[in-house]
Structure 1
Amino acid sequence: MLTPRKIYWPAINLVGPGSVKFVGEEVKKLALTKALLVSDKVLVENGVVKQITDALDQDGIVYTIFDDVKPNPTTTNVHEGLALFQKEQCDFIITVGGGSPQDTGSAIGILATNGGNIADYEGVNKSKNKSVPIVAISTTAGTAAEVTINYVITDETRKLKMIMVDPNALPSIAVNDPELMMKKPKGLTAATGLDALTHAIEGYTANGAFELSDAIAYKSIELIGRYVEKAVEDGSDLEARSGMGWGSYIAGLCYSNAGLGIVHSMAHQLGGEYDLPHGVANAMLLPYVMEFNMDACPQKFADIARALGVDTSAAATVEEAANMAIDEVRRISKSVGIPPLRESAFRVEDVEKLAEQALNDACTGANPKPVTKEDIIEIYMKAYENAPVAVAAQ
């Protein structure tokens, strides 16, 4: 409580069913003229982008569409999007989608006002100028990229995910409308839902956690624990979609201000090397990293168990209650169909390189427990073998 904090989240936040309809009136208040709408071809083909453009047309908002974003967006995606932004003389960005369009839009926005190559901005606080205004419209309850200062772009040459942590990339308007998330496939819902849970758990236990982040992380874990399996089972359940929308949104506010940890550091390498979807990579690693970190903050892990709805009254010690959280995360992951790491493209012969890169990832510094390259190798291998991680003594 004695440490001053800079707390970041978007100036305008539109959350809940039907909230996307307010985008036009908020854009008009900013006196903007033309948007680059950043999305992907799947969202164009399934009609989600049309839902947005119909609303924009009705409000007289001018836009041009860039829909070449890949699931793990690349430097090429970013620079092609920037070229279109400049050619069309746009002055703001609308992102529509999950983390991939959101991250791409953030990168384009930073380059539009700062210049250079996107690789110049890898790391923390590398830009000088604020991005052009961004209206970030989420269509998945997962990444919460619509409310964060973080974005991730893959360097195709190095097969490496570059992590940017930059308040200048924060969207001006964030939109989290669960009606845009309805009827998404079970696999996508599971991956994004476990991504959101990872954000909340890592944000709650990060060494940058503080009073506000603790409060909202706990609520996020509670909501996700209550609704993720329901949302996976029935994609048309608006209550479950709304609960997950709020859980994801709140988790984003938490981790954007508190930090993350080595689940993300390690998952970034799986995405960069094998193009593995980020939410799936997080889910595969989460329980193993929780076991590694548990002795650094056992009370917080016991809290997580209770937030997930686990009855911890039979636990004789706080450590027993903490282990219940790990068991529950494993159960949820299995219930929603997350496969083990062994069933991915992961190669054992790559583990040294992956561990070295994870150790140097921007998220590692927020992990609640110091970690070595050897620790990361062990966690990767335990996840690959689908075996429990031995909790190391401090």
Structure 2
Amino acid sequence: MKKTIKLTMFAAPCMLLLFVSILSCGQGSKTSKKETIVEEKGIVVGANQTEEYLELLRNKNVAVVGNNTSVIFKTGNGGERYTHLVDSLMSSGINISKVFAPEHGFRGDADAGEKIKDSKDSQTNISVVSLYGSNYKPSADQLDGIDIVVFDIQDVGARFYTYLSTMHYVMEACAENDIPVIVLDRPNPNGHYIDGPMVENGNESFVSLHPVPIVYGMTIGEYAKMINGEKWLKNGVQCDLTVVPLENYTHNTAYSLPLRPSPNLPNDKSINLYPSLCLFEGTDVNSGRGTEKQFQIFGSPFLPQASYDHTFVPEPNFGAKTPKHLGEECYGLDLSKTQDLDSLNFSWLLDAYNLTTNKENFFKRYKHFDRLAGSEKLREQIEQGKTLAEIKATWKSGLDEFKNVRKKYLIYE
């Protein structure tokens, strides 16, 4: 039921421009330089297409799964650029009975991994139920009296970004309780390529819940269709799912996020580097937490200064109260000026392992590394001295199989 919405009514902010790139979605695919179309054409996010879903919410008790990125953009110059989805729906007469909050909380300001408590939203006085505290999945009691659930959270296109798992458990709980789910789609800033190892059977976790590669090249709406269609929910249940699609978007559309999607992804560069640097979270290397260049630099006290010319000292800051190597001088690389990636860069990880002076403890958080990687295989390959080419060759069959599954659920070219 995708409709054409006049951009004068529901356009993204003027800062969001449409860029078209000639990209391919192969393993380690290379990208030509992005060609900018002269005509500006705003992407229209699902939340802005209120005529597609507002009537589905009328006279219903509605729950919203959202955070600070759940917004409706405004047009025109001056004034506020957006309003929060909850505020907008309430002003339209929709009864918002409850909010479910993912990792980082409803307002998006909690540290990574920090448990979130149930609360009341100070701005609306609506009950906020945490899905990153005592439970990841809404209980039947928490869904009691809810007629429909709206999911609207900005994803960044990496498997270990936990909002995918939150969506999975919301869909599962709603399927079990006969509650429809509406997903308001948003662009994937890393949607232009597919790369990385697959999650292997028996290695599922909250940061690697589905059999997909690290970078999967789908919007969150397409991903929801895949969860449902592949019957990945418990006991193969399927929820009553509606996806409100994007306008003026393809997987090759470059998208600059107007809002920080989580505390440690402050800008486009960090979002582009995140899929390649997040595996450092399972090692003794700091990936920029505790600095102003989160996921744009990395370093460790155990990397040789002769090979790593960037130094930094992690300190407590927004999104990182106790960063790794707090107060210690770290040696590493500053990647903030590097060219944007169109494939995973694992050479930084391999080089760091090969050059560290603390190799026996490099994977001291190896259980977490294995969860991020999707199995113990990648760590074992690195420890065995496999080359990057040898490692990537082992991904090919899984990537090929995934691409065949993926194409069944694509909404966009």
Task: Using structure 1 for the length normalisation, give the TM-score.
Answer: 0.38
Please give the TM-score of this superposition, normalised by the length of structure 2: 0.37
Which structure's CA Rg is the greater one? 2
Q: Which structure is higher in strand share?
A: 2
